[in-house]
Amino acid sequence: MKPQNINEKALTGMLPEELFSHLSLDKPFRAKQLFRWIAAGHANFEQMTNISPEMREYWAQNETLYSTKITQTLRDPDGTIKLQISCADGAAVETVLLIDHAGRKTACVSCQVGCPMDCAFCQTGHLGYTRNLLAGEIVEQFFHLERQAGKLDSIVFMGMGEPMLNLEAIRKTVAILTHPEGRGLSKRRITISTCGLSDGIRSLADDGPDIRLAVSLTTANEKLRSELMPVTHSHPLKKLKEAILYFSEKTGKRVTLEAALMGGVNTGEKDAEELAAFSQGLSVHINLIPWNAVPEIPFTTPSSAETAAFVKMLESRGLNVTLRTHRGRSIGGACGQLGKKSDK
């Protein structure tokens, strides 16, 4: 059951044809005009100068352009920006702008309020789950970040929540952001990350959207992964590997396998052997992410030497490996750190 105050009619969550119908417009081009203004990041009707003043005034009084608002902005010295965003029903989510060493800007957006997956090493998983976000609430995260930092290069569905549990809203978000009459973001610049829901991976392969896939694997040891990531009980590694293979064969795309490295937990020789065995026969790239500390979660970040040794173990087994650098840790904006407990 949806909260009573949830706003499903925010214009940011509509495609041009939906705007045309919802606003009872006389000509389709007027819907495209409005869609372009929204895609350009304008958060009020007054700035939409090629639309009549009467129409703008009527919309301002009777329509909801944005259903969310920024309630907190945090900036890390490395350029990372984290926004806490409040929804119409009072739910709060966080979204992050990441800037890499080449200056490329990526929006890391949330798709759920909280997360039901309960991964042991993730702050969001310890918050519990409230609801899925609407497409408009996801789109607005992207536009909020663009107003903070200028035009963004890419978007990743790697924030709060499990994207495969809200795949229809993800599909709508992608349709809006890639629409040629609007933002026109390339699908090659879009990545969805899952903790391993194999049915969602297959659905993505069969029905799109045609975007990149990352899988949070963390470990290829069934017992350890079950302890760290409860999703393994219902989606065991064999089933997950079959889904990844299906996705690559169906789409022709290489998949990223992500591993959050925890000191003394999943960085040993046996871990490298099992990860190499899991990767056998798959078109994958390994993305290693040293665990980012979260208060009250009893893991440690591996030392530089421990991490470097693990990278060598994987590379010696013929794997293609990237080691992610820490970004946004001082503001709780790094991988696994999103979400904060209520102040009540």
pLDDT, tens digit, for every residue of 88-140? 999 999 999 999 888 999 999 999 999 999 999 998 878 889 999 999 999 99
Q: Write down the catalytic residue from 87, 111, 115, 335.
A: 335
Q: Does position 237 have pLDDT exceeding 60, yes or no?
A: yes
Note the pLDDT of residue 125.
79
Amino acid type, 94:
E
Amino acid type, 230:
P
Q: Write down the catalytic residue from 54, 63, 94, 296.
A: 94
- What percentage of the chain carries pLDDT values higher than 90? 85
Residue 113, helix vs strand vs coil: strand
DSSP assignments along 123-183, one per residue? TGGGS-EEEEPPHHHHHHHHHHHHHHHSS-SEEEE-SSS-GGGGHHHHHHHHHHHH-TTTT
Q: Which of 52-61, 177-186, 285-294, 320-329 is predicted least confidently?
A: 320-329
Residues 41/60, Cβ–Cβ less than 8 Å:
no
Residue 189, helix vs strand vs coil: helix
Note the pLDDT of residue 123.
86
- Phi and psi torsions of 94, nearest 5°: -125, 145
Mean pLDDT of 214-243: 98
Residue 253: Cβ within 10 Å count? 16
Token pair, residue 182, equals 């609007």
Q: Does position 343 have pLDDT exceeding 70, yes or no?
A: no
Mean pLDDT score across all residues of the chain: 92
pLDDT, tens digit, for every residue of 3-51? 445 667 899 999 999 999 999 999 999 999 999 999 999 999 999 999 9
Residue 275: Cβ within 10 Å count? 26
Q: Does position 317 have pLDDT exceeding 50, yes or no?
A: yes
Note the pLDDT of residue 342.
38
Domains of the chain and any CATH numbers = 13-62 (1.10.150), 69-331 (3.20.20.70)
Q: Measured between alpha carbons, how far is residue 333 from residues 36, 80, 129, 131, 271 in Å? A: 30, 8, 19, 21, 27
Strand partners, 38: none
Residue 94 annotated among the catalytic residues of the structure = yes
Q: Does position 67 have pLDDT exceeding 90, yes or no?
A: yes
Alpha helices in 179-261 (DSSP H): 198-207, 222-228, 231-234, 237-251
Note the pLDDT of residue 338.
56
What is the rounded distance in angstroms from the CA atom of residue 58 to the CA atom of residue 60? 5
What is the rounded distance in angstroms from the CA atom of residue 82 to the CA atom of residue 66? 19
Note the pLDDT of residue 333.
43
Residue 17 annotated among the catalytic residues of the structure = no
Give the pairing type, strands 81-86 and 92-99. antiparallel
State which H helix or E strand residue 95 sits in: strand 92-99
**What Rg, from alpha-carbon coordinates, does the chain have?**
21
What is the rounded distance in angstroms from the CA atom of residue 123 to the CA atom of residue 131? 17
Residues 148/81, Cβ–Cβ less than 8 Å:
yes
Q: Does position 336 have pLDDT exceeding 90, yes or no?
A: no
Note the pLDDT of residue 340.
57
Q: Does position 306 have pLDDT exceeding 80, yes or no?
A: yes
Note the pLDDT of residue 124.
86
pLDDT, tens digit, for every residue of 262-289? 999 999 999 999 999 999 999 999 999 9
Amino acid type, 126:
H
pLDDT, tens digit, for every residue of 165-186? 999 999 999 999 999 999 999 9
